[in-house]
């Protein structure tokens, strides 16, 4: 055992030496920014530095595994869990996730959410709203991806079938809904939004929010969880409940979801889809048209939005007779 541990340590040391210095410096600086809750620096490194280094070094391969970088950040498990979230998101976006990636990404994101939800007091963590939205949006995307992958039984090996049978909770609908509803409840976001719409004072809203909901981290996660619940309920075929999840969310140009392009698109797309499923075609058209007007102002996003083609088709002149 001692010899094996030494061999493993030596192997990791060798692998770490092969990691570009730019990447190692980035990881150290990224960790320092997160520990110091330097929101401006975190945003810059998340939206700029990470993408730049990905394009330069990891366009066709994985980033280094978290365990390999642990020594650079003093073994900080919160940072390493956040790093793994980015790591697996890159795997899903640029590579083909294998069964281990699918299982480990689920375990990692659940570890992060459990940390946030089960702590004795609010976690001090200042992440940009773009990252929080991306994190939850990716959570639902990976659930959707896993569900489609699991359904392809004829393509599964016997080992994969056995693994799925032994782990029915992995990416189960129940576990995904449980996480999203738990974030909503912990943040008391529905109560906060209802109080704001009723014209309550900021002091009263903060009182309603409680210790967790008053923190931007929890409030934003709770808010974006409502948008993700809309999407999940549409996916599982419950449009009525999907729309009910947004009962306290004001669909206006001032709403928080409009601050993030992908969130804005997802909200109107899934609201429109829910209306269409319920036979409320005029409401569906209004929602889709609102999205298309926004798309027209954000043309550079069109090629990156999976909703764009669907909305365009649903509201095109050749299809509109179906919706009226």
With a CB cutoff of 8 Å and minimum separation 6, the contacts of 150 are: 164, 171
Max mean pLDDT range (149-153, 230-234, 289-293, 308-312) = 230-234
The pLDDT confidence band at residue 320, using thresholds 50, 70 and 90, is very low
pTM: 0.88
Residue 13 pLDDT: 81
Residue 318 pLDDT: 42
The pLDDT confidence band at residue 293, using thresholds 50, 70 and 90, is confident
Measure the CA–CA gap between 97 and 207, rounded to whole angstroms. 44
- Is the pLDDT score of 309 beyond 80? no
- Is the pLDDT score of 315 beyond 50? no
The pLDDT confidence band at residue 252, using thresholds 50, 70 and 90, is confident
Share of the chain above pLDDT 70, in %: 90
With a CB cutoff of 8 Å and minimum separation 6, the contacts of 46 are: 128, 130, 131
CB atoms within 10 A of CB 171: 22
Distance of CA 178 to the CA centre of its chain: 15
Per-residue pLDDT averaged across 209-229, rounded?
96
Find, among 53, 92, 47, the residue nearest to 261 by Cα: 47
- Is the pLDDT score of 251 beyond 70? yes
- Is the pLDDT score of 45 beyond 90? yes
Per-residue pLDDT averaged across 120-148, rounded?
95
- Is the pLDDT score of 323 beyond 60? no
The pLDDT confidence band at residue 232, using thresholds 50, 70 and 90, is very high
Q: Which residue has the tokens 């058209």?
A: 285
Find, among 256, 265, 201, 260, the residue nearest to 223 by Cα: 256
Find, among 235, 286, 309, 294, the residue nearest to 263 by Cα: 294
Per-residue pLDDT averaged across 11-15, rounded?
82
- Is the pLDDT score of 134 beyond 50? yes
The angle at the Cα of 243, spanning 112 to 253, to the nearest 5 degrees, equals 85
Per-residue pLDDT averaged across 272-287, rounded?
94
- Is the pLDDT score of 321 beyond 60? no
Residue 298 pLDDT: 67
Burial readout 172-185 (b: 16 or more C-beta within 10 A, e: otherwise): eeeebbebbebbbb
């Amino acid at each position: 055992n001692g010899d094996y541990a030494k061999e493993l340590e030596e192997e990791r040391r060798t692998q770490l030496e092969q990691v570009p210095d730019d990447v190692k410096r980035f990881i150290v600086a990224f960790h320092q920014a997160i520990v110091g809750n330097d929101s401006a620096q975190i945003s810059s490194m998340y939206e700029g530095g990470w993408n730049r280094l990905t394009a330069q070094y990891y366009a066709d391969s994985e980033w280094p595994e978290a365990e390999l970088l642990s020594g650079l950040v003093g073994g900080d498990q919160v940072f390493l869990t956040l790093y793994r979230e980015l790591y697996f998101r890159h795997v899903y976006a640029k590579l083909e996730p294998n069964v281990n990636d699918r299982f480990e990404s689920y375990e990692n994101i659940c570890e992060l959410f459990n940390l946030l939800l089960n702590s004795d007091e609010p976690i001090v963590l200042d992440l940009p709203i773009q990252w929080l939205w991306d994190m939850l949006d990716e959570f639902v995307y990976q659930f959707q991806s896993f569900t489609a992958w699991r359904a392809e039984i004829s393509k599964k090996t016997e080992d994969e079938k056995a693994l799925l049978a032994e782990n029915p909770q992995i990416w189960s609908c129940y576990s995904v809904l449980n996480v999203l509803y738990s974030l909503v409840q912990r943040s008391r976001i529905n109560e906060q939004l209802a109080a704001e719409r009723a014209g309550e004072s900021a002091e009263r809203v903060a009182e309603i929010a409680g210790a967790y909901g008053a923190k931007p981290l929890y409030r934003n996660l709770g808010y974006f969880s409502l948008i993700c619940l809309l999407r999940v309920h549409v996916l599982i075929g419950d449009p009525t409940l999907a729309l009910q999840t947004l009962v306290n969310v004001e669909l206006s140009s001032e709403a928080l979801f409009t601050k993030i392009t992908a969130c804005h698109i997802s909200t109107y797309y899934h609201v429109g889809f829910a209306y269409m499923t319920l036979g409320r075609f005029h409401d569906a058209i209004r929602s889709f048209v609102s999205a298309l007007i926004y798309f027209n102002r954000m043309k550079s996003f069109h090629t990156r939005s999976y909703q764009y083609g669907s909305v365009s088709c649903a509201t095109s002149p050749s299809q509109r007779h179906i919706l009226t």
